[in-house]
Amino acid sequence: MEILKAMLWGFHNSKTGQCFPSYETIAARAKCNRDTVYEAIKIFEEANILTWVNRITRIKVPEIDLFGHRVWRWQTIRTSNAYPCAT
Q: How far apart are CA 61 and CA 48, in angstroms?
A: 38
Q: Rounded to the nearest 5°, which phi and psi values hold at 74?
A: -90, 135
**68 CB contacts (<8 Å, ≥6 apart)?**
none
Residues 52, 80: Cα–Cα separation, whole Å: 10
Per-residue pLDDT of the chain (87 residues; tens, 9 = 90+): 888 888 878 777 777 777 778 889 999 999 999 999 999 988 988 898 877 666 678 889 999 999 999 999 998 887 766 665 544
